Amino acid sequence: MIWNILNYIVDFFELGVFFYCNGILLSYWIISIVSFKEVKKYRKDTQNEHFDELLSSPFLPSISIIAPAYNESVTIVDNIRSLLSLHYSKLTVIVVNDGSKDETLQTAIDAYDLEKVNWAYDMKVKTKNVRGIYKSKNPSFSKLIFVDKENGGKADAINVGVNVSSSQYFACIDVDCIIEQDAFLKLVRPIMRNTKERIVAVGGIVWLTNDSEVKQGKLIDLKMPRQFIPRMQVLEYFRAFLLGRTAWSKFNGLLLISGAFGIFDREIVLEAGGYRHDTVGEDMELVMRMHALMRERKEAYRVAYIPDPLCWTEAPGDYKILGRQRNRWTRGTIECLLFHKKMFFNKKFGALGWISYPYWLFAEWLAPHVEFFGLIFFFLMALFGFANWHFFFYMIFLVYAMALSISTFAIFTQERTYGSYTRISDLLKIFGTAAVEAFTYHPRTVKWSLKGNWDFFTGKNNGWGEMTRAGFQKKG
Amino acid sequence: MSLTPAYITLLSTQVAPVRETAERLSDMRDKNITHMVEEETLLLWITGIVIGLFAMALLFFLATLVSRKIKNIKMARVEVLDQKYLQFLSELISGEAANPMHGLLGLQSETTLSLDKDDIAKALPREVLKTNLLELHRHLAGEEKGKLREVYLMWGYAKEALKDLNAKQYERRVAAIGELAQMDIRDAYQDIFELINDKTEVVRDKAIKARAQLDVAPLSMLSELEHSLSPWQQTFIYNALVHFHSENLPSLQKYLEVEREDIVLFAMTLAGKFYQTDCVDILLAKLEEESRDIRYRAIEVLGQFPSPVVKEKLQLHFDGATEAGEQHQVLKALESMLNTEDTDWLFALLSADDRDLVITAARFLQTINENADLAQAISPEKEEWLQHALDASIHQL
């Protein structure tokens, strides 16, 4: 009996892992090629558009930007000004002060001449207590609504914003991001063009600005980060945002819209129950719940994606903070997959159940486990002299070549589409990063992922962990 | 936390059983993958794939660098040409070598009123010249615009664009429609007008936009459209109507009564925006439509035609409406038509259960009768709604 079980294990690690790895890498290539074609098409389609012509349109959907703020007293004034200056005619900016312990509220009151108003807060989605809602006495800031509430976390703060908003769509953004001036005009393109499906959410590319020149909330000169860790993340963002999500959107199987930047159909979000508080992957969980709801309603819909860099943010600069972020992402992924396990190979969910969910399960969640336990198995064999070293090195080369080719393709795609990095030296740096990723960075991501699994299943760490950024203002 | 020490401990304490197991596993693996096919064949395959992938990576690396190098050279060249052509065009249209337009365009004021043969013949300079010409034309008006159009015709850009209307690549068709419409090339009208039903959506977008601008009867295309009219396309038509046809816009009645809902909804919005009072009767009839979208749009648009008849019909519709949302929509539409005679009706609405309805009614009551004692008429649990309503008009809530 025991030998039969061991036999299966051996089969799995040799046959299974071989085909698993090749299957995953093949799927990466399929996704990459589909994305490349889609991004090229998007660029061709929009190169002659004058988005500013939309500003006077009576058909533009209204949007509320919801910006949760926690202890942002240093940057809150500039961040609000930057949001108020965005080019969109039907825009409301809702800043939600999530029980900050510093002077965030008073700073905003002073800077924007805010006064408390009598607002009948309608708790469509249950939230923590709202202490007050403020509007500016200055008509120039009439688009601004400032909400002060008890601390309840990011999801709770966004839910308050959703309750306060009366727009058709709301945008969820991180308050310290730099948003392109015409970002929302571009983001509503799929909503205004698609007459066959209801667009329930739209995401856009988020890219990194570490070491770039930023002035008054605007990106002046994009440079490749000097440090290895942020540079590595630039490469990851190329792969994820440019090559990954575009293809998933094409199949209407996009499960994640970045919490840093995306717009959502408010009515559908309210019907779905708003953001959940009991997960650290609340952005992905909401998108999955919206998918499920629309499938229940049997209504034609789409979670769209704009392959256009519309939002810029800073990447964590050291392994400690990055590790916490990846740990949280892993726990968030597990939570979302468990919450929505009914999707798994469920024909009711179409491409979502047959492709997206299994992909996230097998390629995103399972991959680090297979990699880690595969290596353990191999080292056990090697320890006693039974390893086929010849075969092992061939496999190492195969995996390395696959990873390198995908990364170089991502850089190539970036260059052939947006070409945002204009210095040859920047491109050489990112190619160099791609070449060493497998040995220096990748093992850490596997470790963080396994740690995330461990923390989730042992219940040791359920929170967000601290995230600190250098901040644009300090550099600008 | 590193996992390595844990595994070393595990191995050191259990070497014997692990070794035994490993030997057994080793026997088993002989039956597995490397022996299912000839090992050499498998390795040959892997070698081929690895070489192929490395070659691809190298290719992407080189292609990226070459592409960037070419783009940078091109960008530098374009920058120089931009400066030269902007200067040339500004001199050309103003008719003088040193003119005030240079200051506006941030140019040096040296005269360069001449072009080489290469400027017109070579692909890149020709393209840059056209881009500058079109951009300048877009931002100017009057006589200068006419001069630029003449230049556009003289240098054969129109001929090229007319050819491009039939190009296989849809992006060339899109660009051609855009510039021909901008330059108002009459020879292109017919071809462009037919492209409103092109199979490619972006071509249709551009053709619809162009036709709305160029056609003397811009709305005639509404009855020719084979695909649904998106809000994106509606925006282009609306903008063109505002800029080019607002003085002589024909009646929209015809389009309010077609079968297609997208056209009807669009025509309803236009009727409101262009204040076409002859459409009011049809709009009132639309209140009885089955389609929720049409009913809601009719209510919204009727709010822009204040009159006793509209008010009466809307109030009747309010009484008959079953959804609180629809009632609220009607109440909002009535805003500019309510007066002191409606005080009792609005007071009655304060007892409704719907939050938005009560807040809007209280807000309107406050507007038409500042002395109305709202607090008396509202139940204590709705006091918060009342306060919201009172602040709403001050703070645009």
Confidence check: pLDDT of A238 > 60: yes
Confidence of residue A388 (pLDDT cuts 50, 70, 90): confident
Average pLDDT over residues A302-329: 92
Q: What are phi and psi of A97, to 5 degrees?
A: -80, 110
Do the Cβ atoms of B24 and A192 come within 8 Å?
no
Rounded distance, CA A100 to CA B162, Å?
A: 62
Rounded distance, CA A275 to CA A258, Å?
A: 14
Sign of CA dihedral A387, A390, A393, A395: negative
Do the Cβ atoms of A53 and B235 come within 8 Å?
yes
Strand-pair partners of A264: A170, A201
Confidence check: pLDDT of A4 > 90: no
| Contact status of A391 with chain B (Cβ, < 8 Å) | yes
Query: Nearest-CA residue of chain A relative to B11?
Result: A380
User: How many CB atoms neighbour CB B348 within 10 A?
Assistant: 11
- On the CB side of A316, CA atoms within 13 Å amount to 14
Which amino acid does the sequence have at A103? E
Residues 6+ apart with CB under 8 A from A30: A247
Among B46, B61, B233, B381, the strongest candidate for a mutation testing the A interface, having the largest count of A CBs within 10 A, is B61
Average pLDDT over residues A79-90: 92
Tell me the pLDDT of chain A averaged across its residues: 90
- Chain A CB contacts of B64 under 8 Å are 408, 411-412, 415-416, 427, 431
Strand-pair partners of B207: none
Q: What is the pLDDT, as a whole number, of residue B108?
A: 54
Helix (H) or strand (E) holding A395: helix A389-417
Q: What is the pLDDT, as a whole number, of residue B117?
A: 77
Confidence check: pLDDT of A79 > 50: yes
C-beta separation of A53 from A183 below 8 A: no
Confidence check: pLDDT of A164 > 70: yes
The CA dihedral of A445, A450, A451, A456, to the nearest 10 degrees, is 130
Query: Nearest-CA residue of chain A relative to B386?
Result: A120
Rounded distance, CA B179 to CA B174, Å?
A: 9
Confidence of residue A10 (pLDDT cuts 50, 70, 90): low
Confidence check: pLDDT of A187 > 90: yes
Do the Cβ atoms of A424 and B26 come within 8 Å?
no
Least confident of A6-10, A138-142, A421-425: A6-10
Token pair listed for B14: 């259990």
Q: What is the pLDDT, as a whole number, of residue A472?
A: 43
DSSP states of B91-158: HHHHTSSS-HHHHHHT----------HHHHHSHHHHHHHHHHHHHHHHH--THHHHHHHHHHHHTTHH
Q: What is the pLDDT, as a whole number, of residue A461?
A: 66
Least confident of A211-220, A232-241, B44-53: A211-220
Instruction: Give the mean pLDDT per block of 10 residues along chain B (397 residues).
Output: 39 49 56 59 86 96 97 95 88 65 53 70 90 90 86 91 94 95 92 94 96 93 94 96 88 93 96 95 94 95 94 92 89 89 86 87 82 74 79 65
Rounded distance, CA B320 to CA B326, Å?
A: 10
**Closest among A321, A239, A337, A224 to A288, alpha carbons compared:** A337
Do the Cβ atoms of A427 and B65 come within 8 Å?
yes
Q: What is the pLDDT, as a whole number, of residue B361?
A: 87
Sheet with A144-149: list strands edge to edge. Answer: A114-117, A130-136, A144-149, A91-98, A63-69, A169-173, A261-265, A198-208, A301-313, A178-179
Confidence of residue A469 (pLDDT cuts 50, 70, 90): very low
C-beta separation of B140 from B149 below 8 A: no
Average pLDDT over residues A393-413: 92
User: How many CB atoms neighbour CB B93 within 10 A?
Assistant: 21
Least confident of A172-176, A224-228, A396-400, B252-256: A172-176
- This prediction's pTM: 0.86
Query: Nearest-CA residue of chain B relative to A388?
Result: B34
Cα-based distances in Å from A27 to A22, A92, A337, A446, B375: 8, 41, 20, 20, 65
How much is the ipTM here?
0.88
The CA dihedral of B282, B285, B286, B287, to the nearest 10 degrees, is 140
Confidence check: pLDDT of A307 > 70: yes
Q: Using CB atoms, which residue from B46, B61, B388 is nearest to A120?
A: B388
**Closest among A68, A284, A241 to A159, alpha carbons compared:** A68
Cα-based distances in Å from B107 to B82, B92, B104, B120, B141: 10, 14, 8, 22, 20
